[in-house]
Amino acid sequence: PPPLTFFYNTSNMGAYSYLREISKSKQSDALRFLARLRTWEYRQTGAMVRLSAPSRVEKARALGYRRKPGYVVYRVRVKRGGRKKPLKKGINFGKPRNAGIRMPVQRNHQVLGELRVQRKCPNLVVLNSYWIAMDPKYKYYEVILVDSFHEAIRSDPRINWIAKAKHQKRVYHGKTSAGRKHRGLRSKGIGASKIRPSVNANWKRRNTQKFHRRR
């Protein structure tokens, strides 16, 4: 039988829907050429750059960005792969259990980028981030930040929740979308019974012997 073909009803698709569908075809000639141009440009700039507008508008808006006062966008690059221990001549003197040299990252690269931007801008709060490009050496992300003390943010009922004190360090607690992913909180139901509130807290609760006081 002939392969199934899906047709989209383009009469009801908005501009952001078109951009979303185009961004899915990363292996197309147009996007591959665009990625080559963008990564070349990104390599000529610093590791962290403030932008006047996001490069992927549809993705930024889906993650909470609005073009109004109080919102800031940064582009950050993170070196790909893991790290190595700073050992002289690559020799680790000690016990075999400590002889490892390669240090795989415990968090994903996107969270590392969010943390670096948050440390650079301690007066802002990281809302979310998204992937934009990648070359053989770096991964590039755009991070959305919010000024939680701006009047335009505090008066907007859709975003003023971020002005609460418990959300001021949300990126350090792994509460962004990328942070929840590396904590394993994207899963629900079957197979996710031992990851909440966290893997370590769940293990500690299941392996702690409790003795009730005799009264």
pLDDT for 59 equals: 96
pLDDT for 6 equals: 46
Residue that the structure tokens 């078109």 belong to = 18
Instruction: Give, for all 215 residues of the chain, the pLDDT tens digit.
Output: 555 554 556 667 888 998 888 899 889 999 999 999 999 999 999 999 999 999 999 999 999 999 999 999 999 999 999 988 888 888 888 899 988 888 888 899 999 999 999 999 999 999 999 999 999 999 999 999 999 999 999 999 999 999 999 999 999 999 999 999 999 999 998 889 899 999 999 999 999 998 888 87
pLDDT for 191 equals: 86
pLDDT for 88 equals: 87
Alpha-carbon distance of 43 to 22, in angstroms, equals 24
Bridge partners (DSSP) of residue 125 are 146
CA angle 13, 17, 23 (to 5 degrees): 145
pLDDT for 10 equals: 63
| 13-165 CATH, one of 3.10.20.30, 3.40.30.10, 3.40.1120.10, 3.30.1490.190 | 3.40.1120.10
Rg from Cα positions in the chain: 22
pTM above 0.75, yes or no: yes
